[in-house]
Amino acid sequence: MKIVLSLLALLLLLAGLTFGTLIGARHKEKAFASLHPGDSAARVTQSMGKAKRTGTCTDLPHPMPGCTTELLFAHPLAPVVPEYWIIRLDSTDHVQQTIQSTVRSTY
């Protein structure tokens, strides 16, 4: 009986973690869709949370003149679920471009 209860508790825990992860990913998708060029970096952080990586702009998928900072946000299950949101900022820390990708940008 103890084994059955332990397994049931473990299954409930795993289901809760999976559900929470999927809810978090859906939140990031909606937040990303609400961002537009000209939004401040503070709004990006408020909407998306902390970036997984912050670095200088890359040329992937194509170069963006004036881009100084690139923020990378990843799906909670990445790289198993290859979904990445890249936000490029200009020198005034405002959104210049948003990119949704299935390939992680490299720094």
Question: Nearest CA to 48 among 69, 74, 67, 22?
Answer: 74
**Residue 106 lies inside a defined structural domain of this protein:** no
Task: Give the separation between CA 41 and CA 36, rounded to whole angstroms.
Answer: 11
* Domain contains 107: no
CATH number at residue 68: 3.30.1450.10
93 located within any domain: yes
What is the span of the domain harbouring residue 10? 2-101
Per the structure, the count of domains in the chain is 1
Which of 6-10, 13-17, 51-55, 62-66 is most confident? 51-55
Contact 40, 94 (CB under 8 A): yes
**Residue 9 maps to a domain:** yes
Distance CA(66)–CA(53), nearest Å, equals: 19
Quote the pTM value: 0.76
Query: pLDDT tens, 26-83?
Result: 888 899 999 999 999 999 999 999 999 998 887 766 777 888 999 999 988 888 888 8
Q: Does residue 53 form part of some domain?
A: yes
How far is the CA of 104 from the CAs of 16, 23, 24, 48, in angstroms?
27, 21, 19, 17
